[in-house]
Structure 1
């Protein structure tokens, strides 16, 4: 028996707009057919950043902007995770179709779901500042924790992005001292990755330097080397920030 064929998915993935148009004209229902990965053509078109094909697919009858694939990813999440904020035009289209910026995939038993990432986590991991601003402006919550108990702020601290840290704290109202499953705060993550400037920014925003992780370690204890540690201690002293 031959494996199932998904010509519209393939055309959407490869950016063949004339083929997509032809297939949709012949059978519009192909747009709502899922492949072996539980993905619709829209998921592939977004993943490969084929904006004209996205425009075609979102105009089909009964289009659901929040449809999830097997991993719980919506088209918006995929767009938010594209490099260099290349998904921003797609996000604008999806928002006009009333995509829900706060959809988050879950796993586990229905009675005890485990929260996972929302679009803000994906955008932060890729350092997509403009995407983050758009998401927050459209009420995407910066207070959602992923399966590791991390906020988008933890990710911003881990990559050392001061502009993103500022946006998440000031516009997103993210808690600055929230801990993940290992008891690590954003400050722990910033220092452990050697991002001294990001650590200082968090301290200025009210990060508590005396919070300990699940192993009893202060954030400053996680400095990867003496140079990073000295920079943080000296800069904090100069800024009038008390460290334990």
Structure 2
């Protein structure tokens, strides 16, 4: 075992998914679950990161368990789990144990912001079914829909809009979701937002319309033609 493993054996067991070792360590010293490592993380953060359901369950059964404990960056176990592939069982367990779905980290992001950025529709549905709000801004003034638009996550955009997300909010730089979609070159997403009624006349703090941010002439033409097919004149 390396030096960190010697100092934080339960953290290491959680990170590596070593259930029997974790059980032995906790039997010997239950307070190990409450120790922070040099990254400001508790064992539950590493268990969530490794998507180890059995170790998450073991830690959740400790009397001292806090489902919303934050690491040095403000990440909760649920935020970490939401960012890991195939994590639905662990997410459901954390939610059952009282995790706050709308908790923010140090940059103001919620689990839904992270899921939107990763285009994970199934987890987005799970969070929203358990009362994740689509109307939470992060430190940059962005809602989850801004992040979904920036990565071209059309199905998540549709899901967010069905659950009370605003369509035309501006972030701290005056960008709407439409601005983000076009700036990142997601022409299809831009057309999707326009079909939903996105306001293409809003300007950023630097006086730029969304269409002005198209990275090249081809994407600009695609968006203008797609809008025209929907009866939308972007020059109006």
TM-score range, shorter chain: over 0.9
Distance in 1 between the 2:37 and 2:211 partners?
48
Written as runs of structure 1 = structure 2, the 5 A alignment for 1:200-211 is: 200-211=191-202
Tell me if 1:227 matches 2:218: yes
The corresponding residue for 1:158 is 150
Tell me if 1:140 matches 2:132: yes
The corresponding residue for 1:76 is 78
TM-score calculated relative to the size of structure 1 = 0.91
Match of 1:40 among 26, 39, 42: 42
Q: What are structure 2's unaligned runs of at least 5 residues?
A: none
Tell me if 1:20 matches 2:11: no
What number of residue pairs does the alignment pair up? 232
Are the aligned partners of 1:82 and 1:126 in contact in 2 as well (CA < 8 Å)?
Answer: no
Tell me if 1:118 matches 2:110: yes
Q: What are structure 1's unaligned runs of at least 5 residues?
A: 107-114
Match of 1:128 among 120, 123, 134: 120
Are the aligned partners of 1:20 and 1:53 in contact in 2 as well (CA < 8 Å)?
Answer: yes
Q: Structure 1 residue 239: deviation in Å?
A: 0.9
Are the aligned partners of 1:236 and 1:242 in contact in 2 as well (CA < 8 Å)?
Answer: yes
Are the aligned partners of 1:12 and 1:50 in contact in 2 as well (CA < 8 Å)?
Answer: yes
Distance in 2 between the 1:104 and 1:240 partners?
40
Distance in 2 between the 1:16 and 1:56 partners?
11
